[in-house]
Structure 1
């Protein structure tokens, strides 16, 4: 909580007290974290126009004649406007297949897979699993964070499919951008909490009983949400939309006003990435390495379970590193090189790595939720209930079919008997 509050205060201070952007060596203006763009002030030439109300009759003989007074000619000045421009390489990327086809396709697949999985996981944690242990509370919050992240993806999908043109307004762009980063980094913090909880449960099982309580887990999760919301507050109050007149599109967060945000982002995102990823990465790596060491040194009769636990721990750590490390490393590298050259390639790599990091929403349900023994029992019970209901319904239909066939056969036999009796009665009548 203290770290998030400090980050919020520093971000607001930098936002209102930053210096103007400095030009690079080649004269172009640099924009950190986004594509390089610059604007020029466009002012139209003064236009003379005639004030017809000032026309005066100056002829002495009464003839209708007119002459313009000097004050009747006025000069109208247009207000200056900003026209933003980006490099040709950036134009090709914004309108190319990579940004308008590949990236939204990946987001679409993530949306289709992650939303149902996380929704089922959240419902299962709320209604099925009892008692609610600390690990369950952490995983419930992680499922909610991944679910909210997935529900925001349609905005990103339509934005990229429409040629990186934002059509939902400035406020919604700020809200979606802030919520997008909030849910992503909140997932990182919650994964760190799960790693720390497993570390305490495996390495210090007895000493950590007083710490690992449901109340403590709920308080920690609330703190993670508040810290994440505080971290994205500067994104929520700063404008994120820029209209590119030469492309005819309005970008959302991809191009920024240099004079307003260059120095602010220069300090904000390194601090943001360090607090919300690199520090959690170190904590998570230490916790999982210690868990692997403790499991390897443990004397367990069932070696298959021991091997499975070690493999699951290694896979969870690898997924955490592979999904989120490239995005944040590229982000930090962008700031290192920005004082030397204005290069848009780093932001292209950032957008692609951001797609890779979104895949974690699909992997989290498999690794965290359905990978635990308690969740497996609940899923198996749910599947068994469905199978039992299907079996009962099929048996009922079979019994009804057999009973119906029995009744029909009996009725046909009775009809045959009555027909035989009727024929015999007719024969008797004919004889008599």
Structure 2
């Protein structure tokens, strides 16, 4: 009982931080995120008839962002009212689960885009074979099924809070112990592994694309660095701080103000991915006219015979991602 009281006192002491940090940031994310992601969905669904694997992953990423934006008005109201939840337990579970699941769904589809670009750039022959299969749809379905199953378990099994008017906050040590398996599993499989793939694959792709001296290659590198920036800015800081925060709770250590503030700041940063994701769509479609080209191997040889032709393949792959080769 003393532990619960201690944690609740710490939480109540920091309510003003949450109110003045989350309310303006979430409001901006909601406004600009709706504009960017609705525009992206309209463009990629209705304007692009022949969709590449990256197009499909971008559509899924935008859908995940829209689900996250659905939960934001509830969180904004919650923080405006000094963390007083009035929408009932069911909506707390639904919106809270969607809010945190977006982190892992978004980074999963960004990883899919990463792997797609990696294969297209370093293994163009394999890419030609895979892009005409149902592999992209199967991968997208698998991401949603795994994420949906985890969300359902989290929604039904995890505690809401140790106090009736809070939602996914103010947990006691026992409740943090109950949350630990979900948090650790999410950290490993939902963040560390995808982040490792992104941080390893994209520099390799960037190095390969750097050999192509044209505007398309420069644009491709901009997208590569943009995704790296989103990963480093939005996702990794949150999970690092969340891990430290979780360990302090499990050890029954008094939460200090620095950890609390860092956790709040990184939670605000992670929400910015719904604004930054549309910037990736803009890089892909804004300055360049999106052109979908099928890459065809020569029927007689079944392969490309020269380094010059291979460079052309890489140029066309980048062209599919950004625009036309100059």
TM-score range, shorter chain: 0.7 to 0.9
For residues 261 and 286 of structure 2, the distance between their equivalents in structure 1, rounded to whole angstroms, comes to 42
Distance 2:2 2:163 in 1: 19
- Asked if 1:372 corresponds to 2:284, the answer is yes
More strand by share: 1
Correspondence for 1:92: 13
Considering fraction of residues, name the structure with more helix.
Answer: 2
Using the alignment, how far apart are the partners of 2:49 and 2:265 within structure 1? 40
Count of matched residue positions in the alignment of Structure 1 and Structure 2: 288
- Measured after TM superposition, the shift of residue 334 of structure 1 is 2.0
Provide the residue aligned with 2:246 in structure 1.
335
Matches within 5 A, 1:147-296: 147-213=66-132, 215-237=134-156, 238-243=158-163, 250-259=165-174, 261-296=175-210
Select which of 55, 63, 76 maps to 1:144.
63
Task: Using the TM superposition, give the Cα deviation of residue 194 of structure 1 relative to its aligned residue in structure 2, in angstroms.
Answer: 0.5
What is the correspondence of 1:275-424 to structure 2 with a 5 Å cutoff? 275-296=189-210, 298-300=211-213, 302=214, 304-338=215-249, 339=251, 341-345=253-257, 346-367=259-280, 369-373=281-285, 376-377=288-289
Q: CA deviation at 1:289?
A: 1.1
Shift of 1:344: 4.8
- Residue matched to 1:110: 29
Instruction: State the match for 2:305 in structure 1.
Output: none
Question: 2:154–2:182: 8 Å Cα contact kept in structure 1?
Answer: no
SS of corresponding position for 2:135: helix
- Whether the 8 Å CA contact 1:128–1:378 is kept in 2: the answer is no
The answer to whether the Cα contact below 8 Å between 2:238 and 2:266 also exists between their aligned partners in 1 is yes
Question: 2-side partners of 1:102 and 1:125: how far apart?
Answer: 33
Q: TM-score, normalised by structure 2?
A: 0.82
Describe how 1:18-37 pairs up with structure 2 within 5 A. Answer: 29=3, 37=4
How far the C-alpha of 1:123 sits from its partner, in A, is 1.2
Judged with a 3 Å threshold, the aligned counterparts in structure 2 of structure 1 residues 196 and 374 are, in CA distance, closer, same or farther, namely farther
Structure 1 residue 170: Cα displacement = 0.8
Shift of 1:136: 0.7
Q: Aligned equivalents of 2:159 and 2:234: distance in 1?
A: 28
Deviation at 1:186, TM superposition (A): 0.5
The alignment partner of 1:287 has SS state of helix
Taking structure 1 as the reference length, the TM-score comes to 0.62
SS at 1:251's partner residue? coil
Deviation of 1:201 (Å): 0.8
Alignment partners' CA distance in 2, 1:205 and 1:374: 25
